[in-house]
Amino acid sequence: MNAVLASLQKETHCALMEPDPAFPDIAFRSDAENSWVPVVHGTSIHVRTVVMAATEWDWSMEQIAEEYGLSEAQVKAALVFYEAHGDEAAVAVTEPISVPEKVAEKAIEAAKA
C-alpha cells in the first residue's frame, strides 16, 4: 500500500494520507499550498464541495451524488464528517463557509437518516 501511495504522490505531485478509521469514506490530500484537504475517498471531490452543494445550493443527497458521480453513502459520509470536523474540513479554505443554520441542520439531519 505504501508503494502505491508513494507512486501516486510522485506522479501527481500530491501527498495522500490514508483514511481515518472512524471515517473510512474520507481521505486527505495535500493541495498546491501543502494544506491537507479532506476528500471523498477514491475521488478528488472535496468534502467542502459536498457541504456547499447541500447547504448553500440546497441540493438533495441524490442530486449531489448524481452530479459528482458519488454514491449517496459517500455524500452522507462527507456531511457527517463535516459535522464532526467542520473547522478541520475547511483547513485549506481561507474564508469560512457561511452556512445558514436551518439549511445546515436540514442537510445534516438528512445525512443522519
Q: Strand (E) positions, the chain?
A: 16-17, 26-30, 36-40
Grid coordinates representing 7 are: 507512486
For residue 6, what pLDDT is reported? Answer: 47
Q: Is this structure's pTM higher than 0.75? A: no
For residues 36 and 16, which has the higher predicted lDDT (pLDDT)?
36
**In the β-sheet with 26-30, what is the strand arrangement from edge to edge?**
16-17, 26-30, 36-40
For residue 40, what pLDDT is reported? Answer: 93
For residue 49, what pLDDT is reported? Answer: 94
pLDDT greater than 70 at residue 25: yes
Bridge-based pairing of strands 36-40 and 26-30 is: antiparallel
Cα–Cα distance, 88 to 75 (Å, whole number): 18
User: How far, CA to CA in Å, does 19 sit from each of 1, 12, 26, 93?
Assistant: 13, 18, 6, 20
